[in-house]
Structure 1
Amino acid sequence: MAVTPATPASPAHPAGPVATVVGIGADGWPGLPDTARTALLAADAVLGGPRQLALLPAECAAERVPWPSPLRPAVPALLDRYAGRRLAVLASGDPMFYGIGRTLTEIAGPDAVHVLPHPSSLSYACARLGWPVEDTEVVTLVGRPADRLTAALHDGRRVLVLSAGADTPAEVAALLTARGFGPSRLTVLEQLGTEQESAYEGVAEVWPYAPGDPLNVIAVDCRRGPDALRLGAVPGLPDAAYDSDGQLTKRHVRAATLAALAPAPGELLWDIGGGSGSIAIEWMRTHPSCAAYTVEKDPVRAERIAGNASRLGVPTLHVVTGPAPAALAELPSPDAVFVGGGLTAPGLLDACWAALAPGGRLVANTVTLESEALLADWYRRHGGELVKLSVAHAVPVGGFTGWRQAMPVTQWSVTKTGVEDR
C-alpha cells in the first residue's frame, strides 16, 4: 500500500522552519561547517541521541534534550513544547539517510524542516573501499532483524550493512554462513571520519574477531557457496527454498500468479490461505517497501510461514492465524488480494472485493471444479481474465522419458474498476 506522508494543513511556523536538523559525524564539532555551528550556537534547545549531544562543546549553551524511546510517537509533543523557540536537532551523518530527517518531514512537513546534511556512513565507507555508491546496496540492521539481509544476497553483489552495534559483524557473518554465503568477504569499518578510524576484514564462515567498536558499518562482498541453493531476484524461487507440508503454490504457477498480482513499490498484499507463505514472501522480495499479510487458519502452517519468511529475507511479513473472511476484518486495506485457499467459504470473495479500492487487483487460484464454477461466475460478473495453467515435468518412463502432468490450475485475475456489476 503506497503511503503518502501527511502534511499539516497549516504549519506551526509560517515564517520559517520548525527545526534545523544538523548532521554530525563521529568527529563531532571539528567536522562541522560554519553553517551547522552557527545553527547550533543560536539554538535555544537541541534534540538528539545521547551520543550526538555529547559531541557538542560547552559553548553550545542550548538546552540538551535526549530523544525518548519510542521516538516517533513523542515527536509531535516535543515540537509543540518548543514551538516558537529556536530548535535544532542533531542526527548522525545525513539526516535524510535512515535518519531523523525522514520522521520530522513526515510529521511536520518538508517546509517546516531545514536540513544541513553531513556525509553519510555510506559515503565514507564507499570512499574508503573504492565502491561506487550507485552500485552498492544498503541494508540497515538498526532496530531491525538481521534476516532482512538475506534478500540482498546475490553472488558478486556488494552490500553495505548499517550496524546495530558491536555484535552485528559476528551476527552478519553467522547469517551469511547459514544462508550459503560463507565464502563472502566482510570488511568492518569503525569510527568512520574520525582520527580513530580503523578497518579489519575476514571471511564470514571463519570469522575470527571478537566484538569491536559499536560504531561500525559492515561491507559485504557477496560470494555464494558451491552447494548453496541459487535464489534469483524475480518470483518463481525453487520449491526447495520453502519448508512445506505440500501446501505450496508450485514454482511455475507461482511465477504466473505474481505476474498477475503485479506488485509495485509500497504496495500491500493480502495472501489468503497462506499454506507455506510463498506468494506473500515473493511479493515482498520484489521491493523492500512492499508489505503483506498472510492469513492461515492452521497454527502449524502459520508458524512455518514465519520461518520461511525469515529464511528468505522478509521477516516483517505479517502472519495472521485464523479463518477467512473473519480474520480479514482488522487488516489494513490492500492494493492486491490473492486467494489460494478457502474460495468456497461463505462471503470470502465478497469481503475481498469490498476491501479493494478501484485499481486494486484480485487473483484467485483453484484446482477444484466447485471453486472453478465460482470463479467462472465472478468472471461473468466482473470481467478480468480466466485462464487454465498446465505444467508437465519430464520423468523417467522405463528406459525413456515422458511427461507427468501436474493438476491444472484455474486462475482468475481482475482489476477493480469501480463500475457496478454487469
Structure 2
Amino acid sequence: MILEIKIPSPGESITEVELATWNVKDGDQVKKDQEVAEIESDKATLPLLAEQGGKITILIKEGEMAKPGDIACKIDTEAKGAVSEEAVEEPKKEQKEEPETKKVEKPAEKEEVKESKPEKKQTASEPAQEKSPETNDVKVTPVAQAMMEEAGVSVEDIINGLKRISSREVKMVLNEKKAPLPTGNVEYEGRKEERQRMSQLRKKLSKRLVAVKNETAMLTTFNEVDMHRIISLRQTYNEQFIEKYGIKLGFMSFFTKAVAKTLKHFPMVNARIEEDQIVLPDFADVAIAVSTPKGLMVPVVRDADKKSIPQIEQEIADLAKKAREAKLSIEEMTGGTFTITNGGVFGSLLSTPIINPPQSAILGMHNIVERPVAENGQVVIRPMMYVALSYDHRIIDGKDSVSFLVKLKQYIENPEGLFMEI
C-alpha cells in the first residue's frame, strides 16, 4: 500500500511552511513514528513523522515552500527490509549509462553545428569516449532526473543548453578541482564567503523587529540591582535544590517571580493595545527569550504569579530544552503578557531590548559584575546587574516604568518578599 504523508498545519494563521531538513534519503527504509523531516514555519519547527514503516519516496525537496496538506512524501508499506547501498547505487549507474548511448547517436548533429572546425571531424564513437567522463561526474538530483526523463533529454543536452559562462563560473570550477568546497560556499581570489538560507523563523523575526521600531513609541529606562542576596541564597540551597528537583537553581526563576509580583502593582506594564482599546490582563504569563541555533524563541510560563520558584525553574528548564530541540508547540509560544530576555549569559553589560508584540514591555537582564558601591556610608564591593525596561510610551508613562524597576529591585535585593503576599 502506498501511504501519503502530508504537511501538517502549524496553526490557523499559517498558510505556508518550509521543508527545512530531511532526516532520511529518498528510497530509505523508515520505521513507524520515525521523524523523517522537519517542517519550519514563521513561528515554530514541527517534526514530520512516518505514519507507517516502509520505503520512502521524497516529493518535496529541502528548502522548498509548501502549503499545509501538500504531500511531502510517500511510503510503500509493502517494501520490507533495509535498502542496501548497492540497491541505491544501481539505478544511478543505469541513469549514467543512458546518456552515453544517446551521445553515440547524436555526434552527427554536433558536427553539423561545428563542421567549420576540421579538428572536430571524428568517428561516431570518439565523441562519446571524450564526453562520457564529463557527464558521469555531473550529479543529478532525483527530481531533476525525473524532469529530464519526462522531457527526453540527457545530461549532455542540459550542459549544452548553458549558453553563457562568466569568469565567476570558471573560477568556481577551478577552485572546486583544487579543493571541493562545502555547499553554499563561494571562494574567489583566495577569499571565501558562506551563504546560508534564512529560515522562516528568522524571516518572521526580522519583520517583527522592524515593525516594533516603526509602530511603537519605544523607550528604555534603566536601574541597577545588587545581586549578593540572591547569590547567597543560591550558594546555600543549590545542592538541596538539585537533590530534590534534579536541576540547578538559576537566576531566571527569581526574576520571573519578581516580575510577576511587580506586574500586580503596575498593571499597565502588563497591558497591550488592541485597536482603540487598552487590554489589562489580571494574570501574568511571562515569556522567556531563549536563543536557539534557528533564532530567538519565546516560550511562555503561564500564571507565573501563582507558581513557586521551584515550579518556575522546572518549567523554564523544560521549555528551554524544547526550544533548543525545536519541539516547542505554537501554544507554548503564544499569549505572553510580558517578556524577559537575559543578554547577561553572553556577557552583555547593558542593552535596550526590543518589545515582543503585542506586549507593551520587556525586561532586559545583563551580566553580573563586581563593582564598588556605597552602602551605609561605606564603599563595598557588590555583584551588580544593570536591568533595562523597554516599554511602549503610548500606554506606559515614565512614572510607571521607573516605579516598576524600583519595585523589581526591591524584590531582588530582598528576596524573602518573593515568598510572601506583599
- Which interval holds the TM-score relative to the shorter structure? under 0.3
Using CA pairs under 8 Å that are at least 6 residues apart, name the structure with larger relative contact order, 1 or 2: 2
Q: TM-score, normalised by structure 1?
A: 0.22
- Higher normalized helix content (fraction of residues): 2
Q: Larger Cα Rg: Structure 1 or Structure 2?
A: 2
